Structure 1
């Protein structure tokens, strides 16, 4: 939507600004603040979460995540998958059981889709407010900068987690209907019972959520550094892609361990009768370090950012 001056605004964002008018004639205290003003009641999580859920991009993204397992089923129905196959790669084993189907869904989405989802929610959060020229009005309510950034990051995190959890849940339901609740079979031939594979999927999802923290931190940092949402989202996605490409260059040897995506698929070790936790521990440590650095940089950048123009 645009106003008479041609400035684009987010209609949902205007609801947050209505509180300003209600305090126009309110009593002002000796400290210059409106009587009754409490910083901890500005930009409440429920209000921001409701705003984001009403956005078309959120609805379409969550809808696509829920639709992806059905697209995979159609692809296998059209193709020549063999459900009786007991060895091969994850694609070959996808139709062996519901747990294997979940593994495939997470595997094919882990390279691009899942990082893109996290980058979209975190990269768009502040940059979109800047592009709509509503960021300065939110701060003028006034919402303290640190609170605004924190609330936005929390909501982005909740939406990202919802999408990352939705994919394996829908995949499991679809897999049970089409392929049955059988044992999970690894490419090495290990067989894991259905109940154990469910627990493995829970840990795998938790690992993926933590591992993608570096994408969230980077996207948030880019979001507070630019007024272009696509630039922030695209920048984080490009870094993830470049990191994955570099990780394929074996000549880098030990240097690949320092790439943020190097341990992205360490959760696959969970589909085994003898789980090696080393790679996953390293992946969590790497993601926490990178994520913490990027989040701190985002907080520092936003604290001094000029939002008056």
Structure 2
């Protein structure tokens, strides 16, 4: 998500040598090309492997094995990596992901964990030079190490790779999927009407969606605070509806099929009841355990 806000800053210098129309056309073609290379269905493409960034090359780019780190940056052409020494051919099926996996479904943690790491490094290191290096050099850099860090510090990948999976029941996953569907419908409507809304209404809608995604992450992570946060989330919807959204009411900027709005409100009311019951049950179980000890 944050990349969308940093990309324009990095691309601005191109305006000195390229017209905006040429840049936009190239940028869109490059984006479309990405749909072709994110696959395991295609192995190699013969002589094209020497010129184009192919699925094989791009699998290496996304790998976390030592030989894959900081390789194959090219978007469409692989010749740039060959020229600047960042090319690496695919040796075996890479293990995808981060060198230090973040085992959570919390969107906030997934978005900012690297920024938090950089922040901690800046505060830990002494000297302005080291602090600036922590920001502008590679994530594995430390004083006395190469600019991009020491490849030997990258942990070995144990195979078979077990991806992080939800720790909850199928019923809980179904509950999260149902509310995620409602959230997507709300987002689509919010995005469609954003030009007609007041800034306060739009900000509340964005904030509520973001908070809801975080709560869903706690459910999928199997955290004990999930039910309490769900109670807060459901109550918050009714508060925002009464004071900001006015769903289904005359004059409301957020309109939609009356049946769908009614269904959503009933679903949230039932969810609030169920989450509240689970919270009370959890408190009772905790009290019994404390007395037993």
TM > 0.5 fold call: no
Q: Which has the larger radius of gyration?
A: 2
Give TM-score, length-normalised by structure 2: 0.25
Select the structure that is richer in helix: 1
